[in-house]
Structure 1
């Protein structure tokens, strides 16, 4: 019986799982989860609604609300009414939230540099290749709605 080689699914899953574990540990020192960092980072761009951030972060509505509740309670973000759509809420980071995003981004960049550093000059090619695989039009691109439904069914 012919075997598939390399086992791409295993390699990508293992890399993702291991990176998530390391990111969780690194962000824990700052009192943040990866999900909280993701939401704060996307909110720091400004003028983003809860829905827009949830879509980009591949979070379902309930998870987004729960995450924002925690960020607001911690004084890191706030929801404000949209000036153009009274049904929508913009997410704004506080000064404390911005400072934490900057610290977390540095921690994550250091982690990425360490992990990707073993690749040497192949680093850019690997990142570019993964980006093409999962990016718009790539063979592994994921419909954001389908991804949210899958993630919400796991929790």
Structure 2
């Protein structure tokens, strides 16, 4: 006997969100790659410029494990875009300080990020863009704000900056 495939009763929200997120990440990676940055490098530069932040704080914001964060900061240091310095508030902690060249790179990369987002949204009518963004913000703030506890946890999405 052949099993019947269950009839779908609603749109596959998981697929829609996963697929569009994946494609957006690939487009972002390609665009940032043109100036020698990764999305993680961009994230660290932008958030380190906002205020004094430790490596651990930046890792949390960018959803990076310790090893990935170290590799990312190593790459930023090698490129002369950032450096590790003792924190002014806690000398035991290390902060990521953005160099002048890093600040210029962050400005360029932010323009790229904004452009990629605008290009993605440009496929929608203006009213639909506003509706989509409002709905996604509502989901992020309310309906899908808190991950469920699970015996088999999934990787956490990047946190809002």
User: Who is 1:129 aligned against?
Assistant: 135
Q: Bigger radius of gyration, 1 or 2?
A: 2
Q: Which runs of 5+ in 1 are unaligned?
A: 144-148
SS in 1 for 2:50: coil
Correspondence 1:9 to 2:30: no
Structure 1 residue 138, shift from structure 2 partner: 4.0
SS in 2 for 1:84: coil
Q: 1:77 to 1:25 in 2, by over 3 A?
A: same
Equivalent residue pairs, number:
145
Which one of 131, 151, 155 corresponds to residue 150 of structure 1? 155
Correspondence 1:35 to 2:22: no
- Give the structure with the larger helix fraction: 1
The TM-score with structure 2 as length reference comes to 0.82
User: Who is 2:49 aligned against?
Assistant: 44
Whole-Å separation in 1 of the counterparts to 2:65 and 2:128: 35
User: Who is 1:146 aligned against?
Assistant: none
Q: After superposition, where does 1:2-151 map in structure 2 within 5 Å? A: 2-119=7-124, 120-135=126-141, 137-142=142-147, 150=155
Structure 1 residue 142, shift from structure 2 partner: 4.3
Q: Which runs of 5+ in 2 are unaligned?
A: 1-5, 149-153, 157-161
Structure 1 residue 64, shift from structure 2 partner: 0.8
CA deviation profile, 1:47-90 (whole Å, cap 9, x unmatched): 11111111111111111111101101110001110122122111
Find runs of 4+ consecutive structure 1 residues off by over 4 angstroms: none
Residue 46 of structure 1 contacts residue 91 of structure 1 at CA under 8 Å; is this kept in 2?
Answer: no
Whole-Å separation in 2 of the counterparts to 1:138 and 1:47: 32
The TM-score with structure 1 as length reference comes to 0.85
